[in-house]
Structure 1
Amino acid sequence: MLAPMSTITALADLEQEIAAPGAGPDRLRLVGTPFVPEVRLHLAEDAILWWARMEAAAGRSLPPPYWASVWAGGQALARHLLDHPDLVAGRRVLDLAAGSGLVAIAAALAGADRVVANDVDPYAVAAVTVNARANQVRVTADGEDLLDGVAGVDLVVAGDALYDAGLAARVLPYLRRCAERGVEVLVGDPDRGHLPPDGLDLVASYPVPTTEPSVDSPVRRVQVLRPR
């Protein structure tokens, strides 16, 4: 079982990592996002090395640092929001399973009235905080598990939130409930094998540069979808 950690501790850890001198693949660097150059994020060149070093220093297990890499589904969805600001302008937006906060930051840059970035990993909540600060936008970082409720917003965005079967089994019903209550929902997904066979309509498709070490192709086709 993962040792509990507060978001305050996680934020202090990330701020210390960002301020620390030195370079290397296990360090966090503020870099432009490949498919969304308008947004800069604190990322690790090798997130697995960063994870191993931080676990060794902490002497305990830490959550996988999904927030320390930029994922294809989030890049496509962020690109879509920036290219279609009418989707978010003046609206309340929830970025579900936000990771680095890329999609939330894109929504804020596109003119959203209020943006909440939600992730249950305290380090992701901290990453949203430092990344929003770096991009000079206002995003509220939230660490609660929201998947048993319904979002009280105008738009829910979920970039690459269906990366395993267990998570998809909770996320998809949540998104359907939100859509049934009149909330607009947009999903960015590179088809990791957990999309439902029906019930989602294609909005757009993007060739996204991949940054995942286990993927052979330099480009991944990513769909932006919405529930029917």
Structure 2
Amino acid sequence: MSTTADFVRANTRLAPVPFLPELVLHQADEPIELWERTEAGGAQQPPPFWAFAWAGGQALARHVLDQPDLVAGRDVLDLATGSGLVAVAAAKAGARSVVANDIDPLSLAAAEANAAANDVRVALIEGDLLTDGYAEAGVILAGDVFYSREMASLVLPFLRAAAFRGALVLVGDPGRAYLPTEGLVLRETYEVPVIESLESVPMRRTSVWQVLTH
């Protein structure tokens, strides 16, 4: 993972997360420039979701850090981890084990670098878990996963199946268009600072929801 790790470090700098000052994260200084450069690489290269602290992930990480009993002593999966921010927060909060999952190798390189920067250990799984599920985790965390109709149609059955088998399933979302309207219980709402060039506003009202089985 050395090449991907080098790319992550070359295109970010380590800085505190505004809403989570106890954590640091490799973040892009010029988000639009990095996004455009990544897009120029062609369709095979996913957008650089790993280079930013998205609102849903910040809210979910804050919720876990403020209520560590949610994850303490439990096995946690951070689905579509992006930067690994939520995974790092879960590890900081005392999870027995944390797995960060994403389809993008750069995301996993960022998650590994961010875990190291925060002095925690996070395991990595590359690939799509949505088809087969992931029964090993007692807690499933997912930040900002309802950003498209296609992603929502894939991730929601995965999350509900996990809840059905008894996992605690929490999502963080700033009111994206494809957030489900049923089968969720509101746990907390936050005002989260975001990158205005990406979100068009400086703050996003962002909620943490628990996913039910139906």
Using the size of structure 2 for normalisation, the TM-score is 0.92
Q: What aligned pairs does 1:93-104 form with structure 2 within 5 A after superposition? A: 93-104=76-87
Provide, for residues 53-73 of structure 1, a one-character-per-residue CA deviation record: whole Å limited to 9, x for no partner.
4676x7985221011111000
SS in 2 for 1:32: strand
Please tell me whether residue 219 in structure 1 is matched to residue 210 in structure 2: no
Mark the CA change 1:62 to 1:33 in structure 2 (over 3 Å): closer, same or farther: same
Q: What aligned pairs does 1:98-113 form with structure 2 within 5 A after superposition? A: 98-113=81-96
Please tell me whether residue 49 in structure 1 is matched to residue 30 in structure 2: no
Conservation of the 8 A alpha-carbon contact between 1:55 and 1:61: no
Q: What aligned pairs does 1:123-142 form with structure 2 within 5 A after superposition? A: 123-142=106-125
- The equivalent residue for 2:188 is 204
- The equivalent residue for 1:29 is 13
CA RMSD of aligned residues (A): 1.9
Letter in 2 for 1:129: E
Using the size of structure 1 for normalisation, the TM-score is 0.86
Runs of 4+ in 1 over 6 A off after TM superposition: none
- The equivalent residue for 1:154 is 138
Conservation of the 8 A alpha-carbon contact between 2:38 and 2:47: no
Identity of aligned residues (%): 52
Task: Kindly state the Cα deviation for residue 210 of structure 1 after the two structures are TM-superposed.
Answer: 1.6
SS in 2 for 1:37: strand
CA distance in 1, matches of 2:197, 2:108: 24
- The equivalent residue for 2:5 is 14
| Greater shift in the superposed pair: 98-107 or 197-206 | 197-206
Please tell me whether residue 168 in structure 1 is matched to residue 152 in structure 2: yes
CA distance in 2, matches of 1:217, 1:47: 15
Give the unaligned 5+ runs of structure 2.
none
SS in 2 for 1:173: helix
CA distance in 1, matches of 2:43, 2:191: 38
| Greater shift in the superposed pair: 41-50 or 149-158 | 41-50
Q: What aligned pairs does 1:181-196 form with structure 2 within 5 A after superposition? A: 181-196=165-180
SS in 2 for 1:178: helix
Task: Kindly state the Cα deviation for residue 222 of structure 1 after the two structures are TM-superposed.
Answer: 0.6
- The equivalent residue for 1:70 is 53
- The equivalent residue for 1:5 is none
CA distance in 2, matches of 1:65, 1:86: 32
CA distance in 1, matches of 2:167, 2:43: 40
Conservation of the 8 A alpha-carbon contact between 1:98 and 1:119: yes
CA distance in 2, matches of 1:93, 1:215: 28
Higher CA-based Rg? 1
Letter in 2 for 1:195: L
Aligned residues: 211
